[in-house]
A and B are shown apart, each in its own frame.
Chain A
Amino acid sequence: MASAETLAKYEMTIGIECHVQLATATKLFSGADNDARDKSPNSVVSPIDFGLPGMLPVLNRHAVNLAIKAGKALNAPIARISRFDRKHYFYPDLPKGYQTTQMYHPIIEAGYIDAPLEDGSSVRVRIHHAHMEEDAGKLTHFGDHSLVDLNRAGTPLIEIVSEPDIHSAEAAKAYASELHKLMTYAGVTHGDLYHGNMRFDVNLSVALKGATELGTRAEVKNLNSFRSVEKAAEYEFNRQIDRLESGETIVQETRGWDEAAQKTNSQRSKEDAQDYRYMPDADIPPIVLTDEEVERIQSEVPILPPEYRSRWAGLGIDKSVTDSLLANQLYAKTITTIQQKAGDTTAKRIAHWFSSALGGEDAPKVDESMLRDDDLIALAAMVDGNELSSTAAKEIFVDVLSSSDSPRAIAERKNMLQVSDEGAIAAIVDEVLADPASAKAVADIKAGNDKVIGFLVGQIMKKSQGKANPALAQKLIRERL
Chain B
Amino acid sequence: MVKISDYNDISAVEAVQQALDKVAASESYHALLSLTKERALERAAAVDAGEITGKLAGVPFVVKDNFLAFGAPTTAASKILENFQAPLQATAVERLEAEGAICIGKANLDAFAHGGSTENSAYGVTKNAIDQTRVAGGSSGGSAVVTALDIVPFALGTDTGGSIRQPASFNGVVGVKPTYGTVSRYGVVAMASSTDTIGTFATTADDASLVMAIMAGKDERDMTTLPDFFGAEVLKPAQKIGIIREFMSDDVDEEVRDRVIEYAEKLKTAGHIVEEVNLPMIKYGVGMYYIIVPAEISSNLARYDGIRYGVRAQNVQTLAELYGRSRDEGFVTENKRRIMIGSYVLSSGYFDAYYQQAQKARTLLINEFNALFETYDALIGPVSPTPAFRIGENAEDPVKMYLADIMTVSASLAGVPAISVPAGTTSDGLPVGVQIIGQQKSDAQLLALASSQEEN
Contacts and interface: CB of A to CB of B under 8 A. Distances in A.
A97 B194 contact: no
Contacts of A56: 185-186, 190, 221-224
Contact of A283 (B86, B188, B224, B351): B224
A35 B185 CA distance: 29
A59 B223 CA distance: 8
B400 interface: no
B308 A95 contact: yes
A50 B223 CA distance: 18
A284 B299 CA distance: 14
B307 A52 contact: no
A348 interface: no
B307 A148 contact: yes
Given A56-B186, A57-B223, A282 B346 contact: no
A98 B342 CA distance: 14
Given A54-B68, A56-B221, A282 B307 contact: no
A58 B346 contact: no
Given A282-B193, A285-B223, A277 B84 contact: no
Interface in A23-62: 47, 50-59
Interface string B105-140: 000000000000000000000000000000000000
A53 B188 CA distance: 7
A59 B84 CA distance: 27
A112 interface: no
B350 to A, nearest CB: 10
Contact of B323 (A50, A90, A98, A279): A90
B74 interface: yes
A98 B224 CA distance: 20
Contacts of B237: none
Nearest to B189: A53
Nearest to A97: B302
B229 interface: no
A277 B186 CA distance: 25
A53 B224 contact: no
B346 A279 contact: yes
Interface string A148-186: 100000000000000000000000000000000000000
Contact of B76 (A53, A97, A148): A53
A86 B346 CA distance: 11
B50 interface: no
Interface in B271-313: 295-296, 298-299, 301-305, 307-309
B186 to A, nearest CB: 6
B37 to A, nearest CB: 23
A467 interface: no
Interface in B81-96: 81, 84, 86-88, 90
Interface size class of A (residues with CB under 8 A): 20 to 34
A96 interface: yes
B355 interface: yes
A90 B346 CA distance: 16
B187 interface: yes
Interface string A83-125: 0001010101001111000000000000000000000000000
B299 to A, nearest CB: 5
A54 B319 CA distance: 25
A278 interface: yes
Contact of A282 (B189, B194, B304, B355): B194
Interface in B234-251: none
B223 A277 contact: no
A282 B359 CA distance: 12
A96 B303 contact: yes
A285 B241 CA distance: 33
A275 interface: yes
A414 to B, nearest CB: 60
Contact of A58 (B84, B220, B347): B220
Q: Which of B222, B223, B304, B343 has the most CB of A within 10 A?
A: B223
Contacts of B305: 90, 92, 97
B348 interface: yes
A472 B50 CA distance: 95
Contacts of B298: 88, 277
Interface string B62-103: 000001100000101000010010111010000000000000
Interface in B326-359: 343, 346-348, 351, 355
B287 to A, nearest CB: 18
Contacts of A285: 223-224
A92 B187 contact: no
A278 B346 contact: yes
B87 A52 contact: yes
B223 A284 contact: yes
A277 B343 contact: yes
B323 A51 contact: no
Most chain A beta carbons < 10 A, residue from B222, B223, B299:
B299
B220 A53 contact: no
B295 A279 contact: yes
B355 A90 contact: no
B210 to A, nearest CB: 25
A278 B87 contact: no
A95 B307 CA distance: 8
A195 B295 CA distance: 37
Nearest to B89: A54
Contacts of A55: 186-187
17 contacts: A51-B308, A53-B303, A54-B187, A54-B190, A56-B223, A56-B224, A59-B223, A90-B305, A92-B305, A95-B307, A96-B302, A97-B299, A97-B302, A277-B298, A279-B351, A282-B296, A283-B224
Given A148-B308, A279-B346, A282-B194, 10 more contacts: A47-B88, A54-B185, A54-B190, A56-B190, A95-B303, A97-B305, A277-B298, A277-B348, A282-B192, A282-B193
Interface of A: 47, 50-59, 86, 88, 90, 92, 95-98, 148, 275, 277-279, 281-285
What are the 10 A-B residue pairs with the smallest beta carbon separation, nearest first?
A: A97-B302, A282-B193, A277-B346, A282-B194, A51-B303, A54-B187, A53-B189, A96-B303, A275-B348, A283-B193
